[in-house]
Chains A and B, each alone.
Chain A
Amino acid sequence: MWSEKEQRELEKMLPQYNTKRSAVLSALYLAQQEKNWLDDDDIKAVADALDLTVTDVHSVIGFYTLFRKEPTGKYIIQFCTDLPCALRGATKFYHELAEQLGLPPEGGTTDDNMFTLEEVVCIAACNNAPCCQINLDYHENLTHEEMSNILSKLRAKSEKESTTQP
């Protein structure tokens, strides 16, 4: 969400950029921080703050897979099933993971809004397949056991965060 806080932070950053337009990635990152995705208001706010048209901002969002325009779970699991990974069993792994999370084969978001699972094409960690990226962190040479560990750690982390929050 774009609030005064984001606006202030952006204004602080702007002098580092040659043109306002160059700040678009940082601005989008700010806008996405809170709820992990961008709604129309966020996009409009970024466009207005940087003197861009919303069409331009959409085009940037569409180019980068880390920006999202639909609600997602708190953690986004981007699981590679491209050829090199597939050769090391990634496709099978992915399908099993989907089943574990109670999701259909094409992925989606768990009922508790905790995880979003996505099949992606090459995250440049082919040598350590199966691999995935969860939000900004990489997890490589995965086994199912490890994966369950990671997921429960994340669940615990999220719980802790929500209880410590006022």
Chain B
Amino acid sequence: MSDLVTLKIDGIEVSVPAGTMIIEAANKIGREIPVFCYHSKLSTVGVCRVCLVKVGTPGFDRATRQPILDVAGNPVIRFFPKPMPACSTPVSAGMEVITESKESLADRQAILEFLLTSHPLDCPVCDKGGECPLQDLTYAHGRGESRFEYQRKHTSPKKIPLGDLIVLDTERCIICTRCIRFQDEIAGDHVLAIENRGRDAKVVSYTEPKFDSKYSGNTTDICPVGALTSRDFRFKDMNKPGVRIWELTNVPSISNYCNMGSNLVLGTHVGEIRRVMPRQNELVNEIWLTNKTRFGHHFHSSSHRLTAPLIKENGKFKQATWEDALSLIATKFHEAGEHIGGIAGPHLSNEDLYLFQKLFREVLNSNNIDHRICLNSAIDDDLAYEIGVGIGTDIGQLAENSAIFLLGSDLDEEASMLYLRVRGAVRRGCHLINANGRYTKLDTVANTKLRYNYGSAVHLVLGMTATILDEGLEDKNFVYARLEGIDKLKTKLQAYTPEKVADITGIDADIIRQAARDFAKAENGIILYGAEAGNDTALHASIRNLALITGHVGKKDNGVTAILPHCNSRGAADLGVIPHRLPGYHPVADEIGMSAKEMLQPNHGLQAMYIVAADIVGEVVTCKSAIETTDFVVVQDLFMTETAKLADVVLPAKAIAERDGSYTNLERRVQVYDPAILSPTPTCWADWHIITAIAGRLGAEWTHASADGVMQEITEQVSLYKHMSFENLTKPISLERKRQHYIYSGMSFTADVREGVQWATRAENQASFFELKFIEPENDMPQSDIILVAPRVAYDGGMLISQAEILANLIQQPKATLSPSVAQRLSLSKGDTVQLTSSVGSVALPIAIDGKLPDNVVLTPRNLAGSVAEQLLDGHNIFIGVKIVH
């Protein structure tokens, strides 16, 4: 901790670390100083001058170098002749600040008048009206208008589209540069800039496509005027009547797109979602949202929603009553006996998932359930149970003494909110080791970039572990007190020294060694691992050993996190929607059930299938026949998906905003969302409600009447979740914490701010022991010159996101991305098509060229229209050797 400095602000004494700016010190004691350009999440530039305050420091006698004292013996304060900007003046000992002196008030008024010299007073047609700092400050301090006649800016262009999502009104911009600093510092997308100087200065984006950033929506929140607005909410642009922001009802919710569980506010008006704003949670999304979350809500109001149960008769769907549908399902499920299987999507709430597994295990007596839909994303992550990140882990605060080892994930695409937070951690000095088989966006800030050959990530981890043990860098206390099997591990790792793994990984031994040291020596260490690292028990065991021997487990800011794909993948694993584990990671007592992969093989032998919120055929087209050959299929969803089309009964579910529930995020944080709107028709039911009704028809006597009720049962039945009572989950954060959270503008304050509750890992119990396990890696290296890599991307072909017209241009179309030299070798140019052939399939794809891609990789994201990548993949990895022909 740096030294504390004591100063007086408006007569109140306050002590803050040296280097703090006056504004932050004032904030600490609740004195609000007006700002435009300052933002506590961004660097300070001091360009708007609205934060001027009167500042004085103790006078010193030049001759004696002693403080000048008055008759009473107090230091005489010499006030600076000119006002000082509070945002960029650091505090000093004995300083006195007067925030509302006569002079500062006059200065503020003058600054506001200057700003209004050419700012239009078009508040009645401005979307910012009602939550606009310029409006508020003018109300508080200003004259209301300017005496200047110089209105040059009133001729500046309005409504300039900056890309599809954001609209710029140059006339309203006050050149505070917040938007630019956000893009440069937080998002790392340098796509906005100020062009020209002085009166001609304006915000521009020349990048093609314009303002190309997954995070651009946040600039509309932090813009202190109505210069940047989102096209989604701009009331004059859309074809429905506008709504003013004070007419919105703000309901707290959680993103259904974000595996970090971004907190948000649904702004609703007469039963419709009109906008999505971030809800501050410093432990999850801070004050940011991705564009996918912000603009992807339109599926709620889509005209394609299912509105009534449907029963297929002679190949045609007929509308049915719930009564008929449920009776039919009960009869058929009963007939199927043990030949039944269930797949539930990881977008369902914890309540739905818990009851789903309960229905199968207790009512239908089957363990044939799974949530890992996409065959190749079958990460079975149970490391979280033992050594997930410690309670209270806050990547948003990680700094110099910490290291993050990111293995095999492009966070920008796969966990966008985590990308922002990891990037922020690196900015604060946290050491980032980014290991992947190809360039990813975090390489621009990573301290160490490791480029391994696909399939060899496990060797890299083993090499690092071997180094740590060899150099004696392990956490000796932890090893002594909590671990067993270290000697055995040491022996096994002799075959995996950095020299020995250098060849297979393609990474220099010294670099592996250095990475190992950096990770081991950091006070806090977090390992994030994703699907591009591979997916097998040897890899998981190696990651576990690395975390354990370095003692980076069981405490805040330490542990491992799997980059799971969906908003509630974690909850689905926690609550046992998996064939071999009961809720709470207990192994099943009886026979292990069938996995999704087994159920989706053509000869699965199942008579009935119950598929909830999972568009299996949409994601993996090759699963079609497995579903077609099942006698009786029930699909429960929001839309008539490709999978639903094959069903015998289709049940209409409620969408997230139409019901309550909870999600568990990557870091095991359970968070609730509230109902905000009504479903299109009352015949849409919440998933947990439908499952309860089916169980009832099958003779169960469940009494759940609400999602909270189900959660209540979970807290009683699943010890991991024992603290997840409705009361705990909905507890608003303390006032004190709220004050630390308080960040100027860009927020919807009216909805509850909550933090959610994390469950404790085994390592958090100080009495727990761990046995180090070594699993020999299989040779998983694709045997081919060219490797197809099929990662997940943010804008995939998912059903929900496809409903948002505003994002339509961003949805990725299937293509094969190659390096320039591969393209040259095959004499390919833009627009050409190639045939990719793997051991399981062959597809034709248009190409794209990317200079950053290694020469042995062709990139084709998963889960795009036509599920092309899935047709080439086999087994459990998302990479495979392929042949390319022109």
**Which residues of A are interface residues toward B (Cβ below 8 A)?**
43, 52-56, 58-59, 61-63
- B196, B197, B205: the one contacting A55 at CB < 8 Å is B205
Q: Quick check: A54 and B196 within 8 Å, CB to CB?
A: no
Whole-angstrom CA separation of A127 from B767 in the bound complex? 82
| Closest CB pairs A-B (n = 7) | A59-B193, A62-B195, A62-B196, A53-B190, A55-B206, A54-B206, A58-B206
**Does B44 lie at the interface of the complex (its beta carbon under 8 Å from any beta carbon of A)?**
no
Q: Quick check: B191 and A58 within 8 Å, CB to CB?
A: no
**Does B194 lie at the interface of the complex (its beta carbon under 8 Å from any beta carbon of A)?**
yes
Interface bits B245-268 vs A (CB < 8 Å: 1, else 0): 000000000000000000000000
Q: Which of A54, A55, A56, A62 has the most CB of B within 10 A?
A: A55
Query: Could you say which residues of chain A place their CB within 8 Å of the CB of B196?
Result: 62-63
- A43, A53, A56, A62: the one contacting B197 at CB < 8 Å is A62
Closest Cβ of chain B to A24, distance in Å, is 12
Q: Quick check: A58 and B190 within 8 Å, CB to CB?
A: no
Q: Quick check: B195 and A59 within 8 Å, CB to CB?
A: yes
Whole-angstrom CA separation of A148 from B132 in the bound complex? 56
- A43, A55, A62, A63: the one contacting B192 at CB < 8 Å is A55
Query: Could you say which residues of chain A place their CB within 8 Å of the CB of B193?
Result: 55-56, 58-59
The count of chain B contact residues (Cβ–Cβ below 8 Å) is 13
Query: Could you say which residues of chain B place their CB within 8 Å of the CB of A63?
Result: 195-197
Q: Which of A43, A59, A61 has the most CB of B within 10 A?
A: A59
A sample of 8 inter-chain contacts (CB < 8 A) reads A52-B190, A53-B191, A55-B191, A55-B206, A56-B190, A58-B206, A59-B193, A62-B194
Query: Could you say which residues of chain B place their CB within 8 Å of the CB of A54?
Result: 206-208
Closest Cβ of chain B to A149, distance in Å, is 33
Q: A52-B190, A53-B190, A53-B191 are in contact. Are A58 and B197 (CB under 8 A)?
A: no
Closest Cβ of chain A to B5, distance in Å, is 33
Whole-angstrom CA separation of A3 from B191 in the bound complex? 26
The total of interchain contacts (Cβ-Cβ below 8 angstroms) comes to 36
**Which residues of B are interface residues toward A (Cβ below 8 A)?**
190-197, 204-208
Closest Cβ of chain B to A72, distance in Å, is 17
Query: Could you say which residues of chain A place their CB within 8 Å of the CB of B208?
Result: 54
Interface of chain B: mostly helix, strand, loop or mixed: loop
Whole-angstrom CA separation of A52 from B184 in the bound complex? 12
Closest Cβ of chain A to B792, distance in Å, is 25
Whole-angstrom CA separation of A52 from B444 in the bound complex? 12
Report the nearest B residue to A65, measured CB to CB.
Answer: B197
Closest Cβ of chain B to A119, distance in Å, is 14
Query: Could you say which residues of chain A place their CB within 8 Å of the CB of B190?
Result: 52-53, 55-56
Closest Cβ of chain B to A32, distance in Å, is 17
Question: Given A55-B207, A61-B195, 5 more contacts at CB 8 Å?
Answer: A43-B206, A53-B191, A54-B208, A55-B190, A56-B190
Whole-angstrom CA separation of A137 from B66 in the bound complex? 54
Whole-angstrom CA separation of A58 from B204 in the bound complex? 9
Whole-angstrom CA separation of A61 from B195 in the bound complex? 8
Report the nearest A residue to B205, measured CB to CB.
Answer: A55
Whole-angstrom CA separation of A100 from B454 in the bound complex? 71
Q: Quick check: B204 and A53 within 8 Å, CB to CB?
A: no
Report the nearest B residue to A43, measured CB to CB.
Answer: B206
Report the nearest B residue to A54, measured CB to CB.
Answer: B206
Whole-angstrom CA separation of A101 from B829 in the bound complex? 50
Query: Could you say which residues of chain B place their CB within 8 Å of the CB of A55?
Result: 190-193, 204-207
Report the nearest A residue to B184, measured CB to CB.
Answer: A56
Closest Cβ of chain B to A45, distance in Å, is 14
Whole-angstrom CA separation of A59 from B197 in the bound complex? 10
Query: Could you say which residues of chain B place their CB within 8 Å of the CB of A56?
Result: 190, 193
Query: Could you say which residues of chain A place their CB within 8 Å of the CB of B195?
Result: 58-59, 61-63
Query: Could you say which residues of chain A place their CB within 8 Å of the CB of B192?
Result: 55
Closest Cβ of chain A to B581, distance in Å, is 47
Report the nearest A residue to B208, measured CB to CB.
Answer: A54
Whole-angstrom CA separation of A41 from B584 in the bound complex? 59
Query: Could you say which residues of chain B place their CB within 8 Å of the CB of A62?
Result: 194-197, 204
Whole-angstrom CA separation of A9 from B692 in the bound complex? 74
Whole-angstrom CA separation of A63 from B197 in the bound complex? 6
Closest Cβ of chain B to A58, distance in Å, is 5
Q: Quick check: B194 and A53 within 8 Å, CB to CB?
A: no
Report the nearest B residue to A64, measured CB to CB.
Answer: B197
Report the nearest A residue to B444, measured CB to CB.
Answer: A51
Report the nearest A residue to B196, measured CB to CB.
Answer: A62
Closest Cβ of chain B to A148, distance in Å, is 32
Query: Could you say which residues of chain B place their CB within 8 Å of the CB of A58?
Result: 193, 195, 204, 206
Query: Could you say which residues of chain A place their CB within 8 Å of the CB of B207?
Result: 53-55
Whole-angstrom CA separation of A54 from B191 in the bound complex? 8
Query: Could you say which residues of chain A place their CB within 8 Å of the CB of B191?
Result: 53, 55
Report the nearest B residue to A58, measured CB to CB.
Answer: B206
Whole-angstrom CA separation of A101 from B193 in the bound complex? 36
Whole-angstrom CA separation of A61 from B204 in the bound complex? 12
Query: Could you say which residues of chain A place their CB within 8 Å of the CB of B197?
Result: 62-63
Closest Cβ of chain B to A7, distance in Å, is 15
Whole-angstrom CA separation of A59 from B191 in the bound complex? 10
Q: Quick check: A59 and B194 within 8 Å, CB to CB?
A: yes
Report the nearest B residue to A60, measured CB to CB.
Answer: B193
Whole-angstrom CA separation of A63 from B206 in the bound complex? 15
Report the nearest A residue to B200, measured CB to CB.
Answer: A62
Report the nearest B residue to A61, measured CB to CB.
Answer: B195
